[in-house]
């Protein structure tokens, strides 16, 4: 298998695991801390808006290539293996989930908050 096929396979596994984490966050058998972490990772990954927009050179793809996979690894380590295998199987059967607009709202709120903080700082440093 060449590097391109491996990359495509890895991307499919990431997508499947995001759906599996979405399912884990809603399942009563999932430990509470794993539910909270799974909900956070799935919401971020399914959000149509990134914390760091993709048009930002290098950093724009950092969340897609590093943050999401690391979040998945963390949450998977918190879920019992037999339960995670069940979620992965169901995720494979289900396929893709729709975009999560709640996650988009959180990301937009963070951006607005960031702009307000920077504007406040700039105003007090330059014009005050």
Per-residue model confidence as pLDDT tens digits over 39-85: 888 888 777 677 777 777 777 777 777 888 899 999 999 999 999 99
Eight-state DSSP code of residue 61 = G
6/90 Cα distance (integer angstroms): 23
Please report the pLDDT score of residue 125 as a whole number.
86
- Helix or strand (DSSP H, E) at 122: helix 101-122
Average pLDDT, the chain: 84
* Cα within 13 Å of Cα(4), Cβ side: 0
Looking at per-residue pLDDT, the higher value among 58 and 119 belongs to 119
pLDDT at 98 over 60: no
Looking at per-residue pLDDT, the higher value among 101 and 112 belongs to 112
Q: How many CB atoms lie within 10 A of CB 16?
A: 19
Closest listed residue to residue 103, CA positions, set 56, 8, 38: 38
């Amino acid at each position: 298998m060449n590097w391109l096929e491996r990359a495509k396979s890895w991307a499919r596994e990431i997508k499947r695991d995001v759906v599996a984490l979405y399912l884990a966050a809603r399942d009563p058998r999932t430990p509470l801390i794993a539910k909270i972490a799974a909900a956070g990772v799935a919401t971020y990954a399914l959000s149509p808006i990134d914390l760091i927009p993709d048009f930002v050179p290098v950093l724009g793809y950092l969340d897609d290539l590093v943050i999401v996979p690391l979040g998945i690894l963390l949450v998977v380590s918190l879920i019992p293996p037999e339960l995670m295998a069940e979620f992965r199987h169901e995720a494979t059967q289900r396929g893709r989930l729709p975009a999560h607009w709640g996650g988009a709202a959180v990301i937009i709120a963070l951006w607005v908050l960031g702009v307000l903080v920077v504007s406040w700082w700039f105003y007090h440093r330059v014009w005050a």
